[in-house]
Amino acid sequence: MNDILKVRFDGLELANPLMPASGPLVGDFEKLNVLREAGCGAIVTKTISTHLPVVPRPCIYGDRDYVMNSELWSEHPLSRWTDEFLPAYLKVKDRPLIVSVGYSEADMETLIPALDRFADAFEVSTHYVGTDLAKIGRTVAAIRARTVKPIYMKISPHIPDAAGFAAAIRKAGANGVVAVNSLGPTMKVDLANRRLVYGNADGYAWTSGPVIKNLALAAVRKIKLAEPSLTVIGVGGIQSADDVLEFLVSGAAAVQMLSAALLKGKDLYAKIIADLPAALARYRFSSVAGAAATTLAAPVSYEPSVPVFVPARCTKCSLCVKVCPYYAITLKDRIVIDPDKCFGCGLCISKCPTKALLPD
């Protein structure tokens, strides 16, 4: 075990901060074991509920930087998890197992007693519970009454008040938040055939993957700032070791990934874990724990600043001219920025492919 990658929180010890997120890659014993062998620091099950889903086909669509999914929760009954999958996993178990459950308070009365002996912690999906924080709090209380294990409530992006959600679940007895679930409802249009694809009967699905990373990062930071005592597990858009570190410095204790593995292949878990030591060194972190202890600066200026032009780097591609929303950039013999028109918005700096425009 590489000590610089170790993670500890709520009595759990992980060899590294990367876990699978709940979904199709962790839907039975074989899949759980594949990701255990891939080296994930902890294993998370697919969400188990008290009744089976009705899943449309096809149900997963992969694009360059996102996945659309209408696959829902576990297609296997609770009894198969308790009688087959989880007993088999216990025989090879060598790291924490987080059992994902959903959805209602009434479901928890059945699920938690049945699953408690297998779980090191519970993750609870609130995807279909709604936005009523009192109802979500009662769900936490129903779980806490039936287990002493850590409880992590998974927040969906449609929850309007992430800080309020965090406060409500803390008061009800939860240990932390998994942030965030997939974004939706969303839809995919097949223009040529005039139809909706990859969705439920109404044509809607949920979107996840790299496209939602910035939303997820903001949710992690907002929750951690509002409720510092809560453990935050970051999920949403991770596809590299650098992404893992971004979540850690934003307030996450550990992370989960699923969609990028659907887009790039299941060997991505082992690759990211292998890449983490070099990424830590590159950004001058002594360990994963050191990254997680970082406080991010948030410098803000309200005064416009004209970008600095570096002629030697410029290829005269004119992209900055084309995208400038203030018509402040022209290309003659070289790039010229009109300081009277420049608003200091920074778009040209972020878009320049050769870094020929820099902050002042």
What's the token pair of residue 31? 């899949």
Contact 82, 111 (CB under 8 A): no
- Domain coverage including residue 314: 308-358
CA–CA distance, 203 with 339 (Å, rounded to integer): 49
CA–CA distance, 133 with 166 (Å, rounded to integer): 9
Does residue 99 sit in the same domain as residue 172? yes
How many domains is the chain partitioned into structurally?
A: 2
pLDDT at 80: 98
Q: Which residues pair with 19 in a beta bridge?
A: 256
pLDDT at 305: 93
Per residue in 254-263, pLDDT (tens digit) is 999 999 999 9
Kindly report the backbone phi and psi dihedral angles of residue 197, in degrees, each rounded to the nearest multiple of 5, phi listed first.
-130, 160
Does residue 21 sit in the same domain as residue 96? yes
What's the token pair of residue 299? 């410098």
CATH of residue 341's domain is 3.30.70.20
pLDDT at 14: 98
Residues 328-356 as b/e (b if ≥16 CB within 10 A, e otherwise) read bbeeeeebebeeeebebeeebbeebeeeb
Does residue 323 sit in the same domain as residue 213? no
Per residue in 11-55, pLDDT (tens digit) is 999 999 999 999 999 999 999 999 999 999 999 999 999 999 999
Does residue 106 sit in the same domain as residue 136? yes
Does residue 353 sit in the same domain as residue 216? no
Is 302 contained in some domain? no
Does residue 274 sit in the same domain as residue 330? no
Is 297 contained in some domain? no
Contact 93, 121 (CB under 8 A): no
Does residue 164 sit in the same domain as residue 312? no
CA–CA distance, 43 with 23 (Å, rounded to integer): 12
Q: Which residues of the chain are modeled with pLDDT < 70?
A: 1
What's the token pair of residue 306? 């004209």
Is 303 contained in some domain? no
Does residue 284 sit in the same domain as residue 347? no
Does residue 148 sit in the same domain as residue 282? yes
Cβ atoms within 10 Å, residue 28:
18
Going along 200-248, which residue ranges are E strands?
205-208, 231-235
- Torsion from C-alpha of 277, 280, 283, 287, nearest 10 degrees: -150
Q: Which residues contact 247 (CB under 8 A, 6 or more apart)?
A: 216, 217, 220, 234, 238, 255
Does residue 19 sit in the same domain as residue 104? yes
Does residue 180 sit in the same domain as residue 37? yes
